[in-house]
Amino acid sequence: MQETAIKYFTPKEAQKTLPLVKQIIRDIINNSFQIRTIVESMNGDIYENEEVKKLVREIDGFIKELEEIGCYYKDWNFSIGLVDFPAIINGKEVYLCWRSDEDEIRYYHDMDKGFVDRKPIPQNYLED
């Protein structure tokens, strides 16, 4: 299997993907809510529940869609929706970091860091 090259986004390029990314995140959050609702109402084996299996398969598909765009889903609690976009800021590989309650992509963090380490994207990267 051939490894694909990382796609690096400018903040403007990442911003252009947001309408699609937002819809995919809504679908992931909606499915995870449905799974939680089913699990809370069950006493049996959730792993044998066909509806849960279907919803999980759909979430897997949504996450693959994000990866096809070139970004990565990072909210493993499936509650708010965090997405990272690979980028180069000041000559360094970083992730542009977006959360589903934000209108724009305005933050980034080092690749080995996470949401709590976000910093504002330098203004010169936000201008045309």
Residue 35 predicted with pLDDT over 80: yes
Residue 31 predicted with pLDDT over 90: yes
Predicted confidence band of residue 78 (pLDDT cuts 50, 70, 90): confident
Query: To 5 degrees, how large is the angle CA 38–CA 43–CA 47?
Result: 65
The alpha carbon torsion through 51, 54, 58, 60 (nearest 10 deg) reads 110
Predicted confidence band of residue 123 (pLDDT cuts 50, 70, 90): very high
Residues 30-51: what's their mean pLDDT?
A: 84
- For 11, residues 6+ apart whose C-beta sits below 8 A from its C-beta are 87, 96, 105, 121, 125, 126
Predicted confidence band of residue 48 (pLDDT cuts 50, 70, 90): confident
Flag the least confident range among 9-13, 16-20, 32-36, 46-50: 46-50
